[in-house]
Structure 1
């Protein structure tokens, strides 16, 4: 490698990696629960394939709702 020629330098040397990118989130080993459909999706009879998936951090599970529905059907959490 010649002096001043950076084209031959190791390309990975210039990349700064975040340490968080290789760590798992807390509780990642625990299974995810299925929490069902939200109230509005049930009332309107929306097929689950057309509902939007949401995460509930309290229940540590996924539930499906219609459009902008935000309330977890299991615990009532509205903050993800």
Structure 2
């Protein structure tokens, strides 16, 4: 081992600024597929959309924002 301090590797999401009063986080809703699978909305996961500046809910395998189609978080 070297004497160098451990390096912190930042994830891309760490560059996203937090919410503020001037730009609050929006709730973008639930995907159509998730509604078809279970209309009670149980077991949904939240996903971040940086284009819409909000959170959308869907199943674990879904990756596309239902509002704008963004697939990159």
Q: TM-score with structure 1 length normalisation? A: 0.60
The 1:69–1:46 alpha-carbon spacing in structure 2 relative to 1, beyond 3 Å, is farther
More deviation, 30-39/46-55: 46-55
Alignment: residue pair count: 56
Quote how far apart the aligned CAs of 1:46 are.
Answer: 4.7
The 1:73–1:41 alpha-carbon spacing in structure 2 relative to 1, beyond 3 Å, is same
Aligned to 1:68: 61
Q: Which runs of 5+ in 1 are unaligned?
A: 1-24
Matches within 5 A, 1:48-59: 48-59=41-52
Give the root-mean-square deviation of aligned CA atoms.
1.7
Q: Deviations over 1:23-80 (max 9, x none)?
A: xx53631211010011220221253341011000000000110121011011111110
SS class of match (1:48): coil
The 1:49–1:32 alpha-carbon spacing in structure 2 relative to 1, beyond 3 Å, is farther
> Which of 17, 31, 51 is equivalent to 1:26?
17
Q: Which runs of 5+ in 2 are unaligned?
A: 1-15
* Structure number with larger C-alpha Rg: 1
SS class of match (1:50): coil
Q: TM-score with structure 2 length normalisation? A: 0.65
